Structure 1
Amino acid sequence: MSSNLEIASSFIQGAPPGELSDVVADIKALTPEGPGLISSLAPAFEKYNEEQLATVKLPGSSEEVIVSAFNKLEDGRYFDVQSQTSFAFDHVNQEASSPQSYVLESQNSDFIKSLLKSLSSHAKEHYPNCSFGVYPIEDDTAAAIVLVANKYSPNNFWNGRYRSIYTVPLPSADAVTGTIHINVHYYEDGNVSLNTKKPVSISLSPNSSADAVIKRIAAAERAQQLELSDAFSRLSEGAFKGLRRQLPITRQKVEWEKVGGYRLGQDISGGAKGR
């Protein structure tokens, strides 16, 4: 049982974006404990949801809020600054419940709300489908700035997730450190994954404004996108072209769906009959 639990937990931790339910279905089908094992995986689900910045709609709301270690309360509930709500979260079923009014208790609450307002403008301009939040951390001596954008296209066999997490010291607001994570999984007739992390380190003037903080974050994210775009261009023009010739020696494209019916030395070479 313990061995299966460890293996199943590792499957949960490695679930690609948007495919956690598929991994759960596989665990149920492949393990002798089946559905009974799932309830024992609650710690693995909790770790996965918090690390992946899981999003959930609160009851009666159309907006999605973030589940993370940064906005977790001592009683296991989570809070959202923008909606001023705390909520319970079922990590296995990924459902929110029991919403309650929540008032942010922080000596830096005004600055945190200013960061949230500036982050909202940035997010809506550059990430059409995203969730974001700003939370006091480290005993109220810093703020965590968090953004997650998911795009799932299972009909086209790909899913992707963008996460950015930054820390700003308070009240000085003189630096930003963090990481940009991008994870894309493509699985049509294969299994290809992009999983990249970009560390971010920014120096700011002492007592910088919330707008200044978010503008520097926006610049770092644009630079990262340009780096990725340039890397893909080099990969397409270089390494991928060298993998195989664009056309076979006959100068005609191979019909790969019919490749099983080709007769080596005759069809592929141009129709010469074997001896």
Structure 2
Amino acid sequence: MATREEKIKIASGFLKAAPPGEINDVFNDVRALVGDDDLLNGGIVNALEEYNTEELATVDVPGIEGKVIVSRYGQIESDRFLDPKSKQVFKLDHFRQVATDPEAYTEEDEIEDLRKVVEKDVEAYIADRYAEGVSAVYGSKGVVTIAIVHNKYSPSNFWNGRWRSVWTLDTTTSQVKGSLKCKVHYYEDGNVQLETSKEVEESLDKSSSDPHEAISKAFLELIASSELKYQKALNESYHDLAESTFNGLRRALPYTRTKLDWNKILTYRIGAELAAK
């Protein structure tokens, strides 16, 4: 029998691997499997914190218009996060993904002026490229960090998806690093998941001595070019999967040449039917 620690480790692994928009469903399933609410609630808060920050969870914060991103780049404490646009710090319930207790945040980094310019350009970029995208721009210790997330949930059609990208600009070296991630879950009459990522590392053409507007423009041009290339590569991969890989895996009919009625699976005698063939 699994120990308490092993149960928590297994449960945490399931939660951290939850598909987009399905964390509550996975939690309820894990809860039924563990059968011990005290053990579960006391042991998985770290897993939920990691899930929310890594997946760039979006929440509604009282008094703030629009969705706000939860990320480690704005993490003040384990349950307190900064929204850099509104300059508000809020408390997050990692179990329910509910934000409360917003408070003014008065500290400013030395690159705040550049951060504001980048934030404005990122908002225009999101409005142009992502129908339901959410972004946050952080500035700390000479580094500007952009977090972008676009969730698309369609449970009535048995699929959910999430796009995430995080970009950092070191203003002292003009080095740009990007991490692009896409996760899709399709589960109509099956269970298919796509999880892919790409890392980018480039040097910005504009140096840190240029005006803020020039730096921001060059930064966003690099992001737009990189994300477009990655999205085109994904589309090409989807086409190849549909035309070749999935066709190779799929069998139109079982060896009996008749479709299985899964609701009557216990009435089948497949071994005997195969022997007759």
**TM-score normalised according to structure 1 size:** 0.85
Q: Is the Cα–Cα contact under 8 Å of residues 55 and 67 in structure 1 kept in the other structure?
A: yes
Secondary structure (helix, strand or coil) at the match of 2:72 reads coil
Secondary structure (helix, strand or coil) at the match of 1:238 reads helix
**Is the alpha carbon distance of 1:94 and 1:74 closer, same or farther for their aligned partners in structure 2, counting shifts above 3 Å?**
closer
**Structure 1: gaps (5+ residues):** 265-273
Q: Is the Cα–Cα contact under 8 Å of residues 81 and 104 in structure 1 kept in the other structure?
A: no
Q: Is the Cα–Cα contact under 8 Å of residues 175 and 203 in structure 2 kept in the other structure?
A: yes
Alignment of 1:19-168 (within 5 A): 19-34=22-37, 36-74=39-77, 76-137=79-140, 140-168=141-169
Q: Deviations over 1:5-30 (max 9, x none)?
A: 11111111111111110111112211
**TM-score normalised according to structure 2 size:** 0.84
**Structure 2: gaps (5+ residues):** 209-213, 271-275
Larger Rg: 1
Q: Is the Cα–Cα contact under 8 Å of residues 49 and 78 in structure 2 kept in the other structure?
A: no
Q: Is the Cα–Cα contact under 8 Å of residues 163 and 180 in structure 1 kept in the other structure?
A: yes
Poorly superposed stretches of 4+, deviation over 2 Å: 234-248, 253-262
**Is the alpha carbon distance of 1:157 and 1:111 closer, same or farther for their aligned partners in structure 2, counting shifts above 3 Å?**
same
Count of equivalent residues: 258
Q: Quick check: 1:211 aligned with 2:212?
A: no
| Structure (1/2) with the larger helix percentage | 2
Q: Deviations over 1:172-203 (max 9, x none)?
A: 5x231121000001111111000000111222
Q: Is the Cα–Cα contact under 8 Å of residues 27 and 34 in structure 1 kept in the other structure?
A: no
Residue identity over aligned pairs, in percent, reads 38
Root-mean-square deviation over aligned CA pairs = 2.7
Amino acid at match of 2:204: L
C-alpha displacement of 1:230? 1.3
Q: Deviations over 1:44-101 (max 9, x none)?
A: 1111111111111001344111111100114742111111211111111111111011
Q: Is the Cα–Cα contact under 8 Å of residues 150 and 161 in structure 1 kept in the other structure?
A: yes
In structure 2, distance between residues paired with 1:17 and 1:86: 25
In structure 2, distance between residues paired with 1:169 and 1:61: 29
Secondary structure (helix, strand or coil) at the match of 2:95 reads coil
**Is the alpha carbon distance of 1:75 and 1:201 closer, same or farther for their aligned partners in structure 2, counting shifts above 3 Å?**
closer
Secondary structure (helix, strand or coil) at the match of 1:136 reads strand
